[in-house]
Amino acid sequence: MSSENGARTADAIVAARDNIALIREWAADLSLETLKSDRKTRYAIERAFIAMDAAMRDAAPDSLLAHGVPTAMIAGFRNILAHTYDDVLDDRVILTIRDDLPALDMALEKMLAALRPA
């Protein structure tokens, strides 16, 4: 990978991880009932998921694949959020935050470390 491509990928990973951190912060101790009733927080979380996907599109696909980042699943979830707001199940959003984001953040952290060796 060229140094320019590596820098672009690193910037994309940092942006994606920033959005993951925001989602996790906003969703901390968030119950399903609260998510359903707090439209502002729900909107912010959905926008951060969309921004995370946008950032990941700037990362080198081969690096994402090599680190097991499920780009197709991320893009699919983004599409659901962006195009079918009324059909998104609140419990799916909560489960994604609690079950999938920690593993994704860890994979991105490892990927960033590989791009920026100590």
**Structural domain spans, the chain:** 3-115
Place of tokens 């912010």: 44
Residues 6+ apart with CB under 8 A from 31: none
pLDDT in tens, 98-112: 999 999 999 999 999
pLDDT in tens, 34-53: 888 888 998 999 999 999 99
According to the model, what pLDDT value does residue 51 have?
96
115, HSE (Cβ side, Cα atoms, 13 Å): 27
If you average pLDDT over residues 22-42, what whole number do you get? 89
In this predicted structure, the answer to whether residue 1 has a pLDDT above a threshold of 60 is no
